[in-house]
Structure 1
Amino acid sequence: MSKMKKLIAGNWKMNGSLAANEALLRELSQGLAIAPVCEVLVCVPAPYLAQISALKAGCAALSALELGAQDVSAQASGAYTGEVSAAMLKDMGCRYVIVGHSERRQYHFETDALVADKAKVALATGITPIVCVGETLAEREAGRTEEVVKRQLAAVIHANGHCISEIVVAYEPVWAIGTGKTASPEEAQAVHAVLRAQLKAATDKAERIRILYGGSMNAANAESLLTQPDIDGGLIGGASLKAPDFLKIIAAVQV
């Protein structure tokens, strides 16, 4: 069982506007006025990083809210039009960045090797990568869940060696993202235990690596998932865009 403070991370995906973001953070600030027992993070679209950073700076109640990005270039700088470097994210105040989200793997054909490189450049810049792993429905039905998630994580372990204890892992069963389906607490815990064992084989600091569940965690199922021994938080999609739901998930975290 991990001894680290749990992490509840919101992934806004490609959603938001200047007005909607401000309204959402205003609502969140009211709920976060009393410091939560967990770490809270929002990973926002790149154009809004400066806005959220400024809103955080201007509101004491948001001091506990961490800022993250949704992707990062594997390149440090140069002629890569449209890319955003880790140094730029650091400049914007990002402490975290999501890498290898299933939507990036599916729609942008990101490979395990590319995800590992992105994690490496983030770590080198002092940003914590949230490394996403997960199987599709076809892979689960074929009994390949363990094989798939271990392969995806192995690439990151191989590329990052002794720095691996600095990452966060997010298990996101692809079949449960945005579908309303979710793994049962027992199913999720079983995969988290596999990932924990793989990390233990790679580093003696595996207990400090948080493994988040990222498959449609919501206000209704958060508590049952978060009480599992190897689930150290959640990577929250749609529910993170609704302040009452996101705050309920945060409140479901036990010390």
Structure 2
Amino acid sequence: MDKLYYRLRIYRSVVGINIKEVLAYNFWFWSQIGAHVLLTIAYISFWKALYSERDTIAGLNMQQTLTYIILARIVMPLVQWGYTQEFGYWIREGTISSELLRPVDFQERIYIGHLTRTFISLAQQLIVVGSLALFVFKISLPTDPLVWLSFLISLLLGCSILFCFDWIFGCIAFYSTEVWGLQVVRGSVLLLFSGVLLPLTMLPTELQTIAKWLPFAQSVSVPVSILSGMTPLSELDSIWLQQLVWLGVMFMLSRLMFNFSVRKITVQGG
């Protein structure tokens, strides 16, 4: 019991620190929000132009597509933060040694901080971009609390799956002296196969097949499809089962990959 209380106290401190870090940089926050608002306006204008000469695209009408695009923009912080660059920085500066020596599980601590930063950013996005969607573009969001609860559960599972992937991908930094290229590859693949840019049903058949066999859709496409009404609640059982299987597999792989990679630390600074 004392050990559990000790761990909870540590993670409460981790949550508090990450909240302060996110809210401390006001200029960064507002510049990010401004960029998201401008991009959202550009995306909406683009899709309205596409639908001006047709009623549906890939079986979706304009209202469904616009709702999906705006919601995908709101949850975009999920795919923005990877750990390849962070691992590279720790190794380059030599601080990886102190990070590993802290009296708490390294991956658990980073995961708690990741969830904290992600959901704070999502709340900020929902307030600003969501208000733009409701009052400017007249996009209707669901009013059923069950839909929102289902969305949040699916989003949490998707966020955890993507975290495990990023952890696995970040472990490559232990074998590299420069991680910028890895970060670019990660971002490009996620933008296409997570569903941030457009609904996955609009991709060519071959790419849709690839997306189904990759974990990225679980982070954005699956939860956003629930909230936008593209996926009915009757399919929740199979969706959550699939996400739980993905999470179990990715978690085990992330632990194995880290335990193997951490044996090869080449500190470039310190």
**What is the TM-score normalised by the length of structure 1?**
0.28
Structure with higher Rg: it is 2
Query: Comparing both structures, which one devotes a greater share of its residues to helix?
Result: 2
Query: Comparing both structures, which one devotes a greater share of its residues to strand?
Result: 1
Q: State the structure with bigger RCO (CA 8 A, min sep 6), 1 or 2.
A: 2
